[in-house]
Structure 1
Amino acid sequence: MNSEDQACAAAHQTVRPRQTATECSSCWLREPDGIDVNDIAAWLTKPDINQWFDFGQGRQTLPVLAVRLMMHSDRHRLRVFGPAGHEVASGLVAVSDLAHAFGTASFWVLRDSQRPACRDMTFAASIRLLRETFDADRLHCITAWAVDCNERSRRLLERIGFHSIGLQRDCHVIRGSRFGRVLYDLLPGDLDNRSTRGDNA
């Protein structure tokens, strides 16, 4: 195992064991409130979560003020989600960098593995937000990326219907080792052709 493989394995090992997913009929999705803003900022202070992100110029965290500004900006659409029967949010799905002139934006998602979950929760929340964004903002293309060793995120994106369009090499750092980012895009029709395989996310 080379140094990059060891670093990637270590990155996954820092993730605490997931709460076992339970079957549920639905999950909820809503705009963040004041409590959620604090949760989002707190989630992004955790190395096992923020190591997968880049919010520009190498920033991997978002302070509470930045999250609040995003909530009230027309350049971002943020939604928290959780399983039916639980009021506290378990994760966030987001579309950022909305460029209405070109009909484009970028998608990202995070989930707290220590909070309640149900089968396909992240997938269902992602699909609902993406449909809402395509319809409400009349977008033509939404992009996303995942670190090349982040297999879970890559599986989720591909199940949603995102298409891999290339690899940006040697551009992401985890624990001092460098990795690539797999680039994806999604058109409105791709949501209708998505796989029906479960990812237990």
Structure 2
Amino acid sequence: MSHDVQAQAPAQGTQCSDPSDGNFSACWLREPDSNDVDDVATWLAEPEINQWFDFGQGRQTLPVLAVRLMMQSDRHRLRVFGPAGHEVASGLVAVSDLAHAFGTASFWVLRDSRRAACRDMTFLASIGLLRETFDTHRLHCITAWAVECNVRSRRLLERIGFRAIGLQRNCHIVRGSRFGRVLYDLLPADLANGPIPAGGDA
């Protein structure tokens, strides 16, 4: 599931950037705090954002309590991100459904396009979280999906290194119309590494 909607980086955060260009101040990535919980719940209450998601049984929103529980659960790894110089988060990257027995999980991301951004910010934050999750949890495969009409999210997933593995047809509703979901998977060796292609989304 995904949607795209100079001070120092916040304490206990990680700087994320393209290692090939020597720039380590493009954006930051950190664990969410109590202020971020409210932001995430607010983002997911907005139809323009939550129309792209499904958190099970057709649920497309997450109340504050659910976000807090996700933060505390070892089944989820959540990180907020934003551009250097801005302490308020601009988006969230997440890996959920961590299954340690099988070494699998699922990836999702959202960004508030009204907040500050820098070039390749969402891409870099995604790479940072996925690399960290593969290493920490010794995962073998991470899956994701995007609604077939959500071209921006599909492009982001493919830049990251996700490979399309199929189409689940006629299973998602956006503004009253039915669409399929493009299914993806990512192995550690697939994860983008090296120079970032030009012209990507923030």
TM-score range with shorter-chain normalisation? 0.7 to 0.9
The answer to whether the Cα contact below 8 Å between 1:107 and 1:144 also exists between their aligned partners in 2 is yes
The letter of the residue matching 1:163 is R
Match of 1:60 in 2: 60
CA distance, structure 1, for counterparts of residue 194 and residue 153 of structure 2: 15
Moved segments of 4+, more than 6 Å: none
Alpha-carbon displacement from aligned partner over 1:83-130 (angstroms, at most 9, x marks no partner): 001000000000000000000000000000100000000000000000
Indicate the RMSD between aligned Cα atoms, in angstroms: 1.8
Give the deviation of 1:196 after TM superposition: 2.9
Match of 1:175 in 2: 175
Match of 1:39 in 2: 39
CA distance, structure 1, for counterparts of residue 72 and residue 81 of structure 2: 18
The letter of the residue matching 1:188 is P
The aligned length equals 181
Match of 2:72 in 1: 72
- Larger helix share, 1 or 2: 1
TM-score (norm 2): 0.86
CA distance, structure 1, for counterparts of residue 36 and residue 135 of structure 2: 25
Q: Which runs of 5+ in 2 are unaligned?
A: 6-22
Summarize the Cα distance change of 1:33–1:200 in structure 2 as closer, same or farther, 3 Å threshold.
same
Residues 6-45 of structure 1 correspond to what in structure 2 (within 5 A)?
A: 25-45=25-45
TM-score (norm 1): 0.86
For the pair 1:151 / 2:157, whether they are aligned, the reply is no
Summarize the Cα distance change of 1:25–1:200 in structure 2 as closer, same or farther, 3 Å threshold.
farther
Give the deviation of 1:25 after TM superposition: 3.9
The answer to whether the Cα contact below 8 Å between 2:156 and 2:201 also exists between their aligned partners in 1 is no
Secondary structure in structure 1 of the residue aligned to 2:65: helix
User: How much identity, in percent, do the aligned residues show?
Assistant: 81
The answer to whether the Cα contact below 8 Å between 1:144 and 1:183 also exists between their aligned partners in 2 is yes
Q: Which runs of 5+ in 1 are unaligned?
A: 1-11, 16-22
Match of 1:200 in 2: 201
The answer to whether the Cα contact below 8 Å between 1:160 and 1:194 also exists between their aligned partners in 2 is no
Give the deviation of 1:24 after TM superposition: 8.9
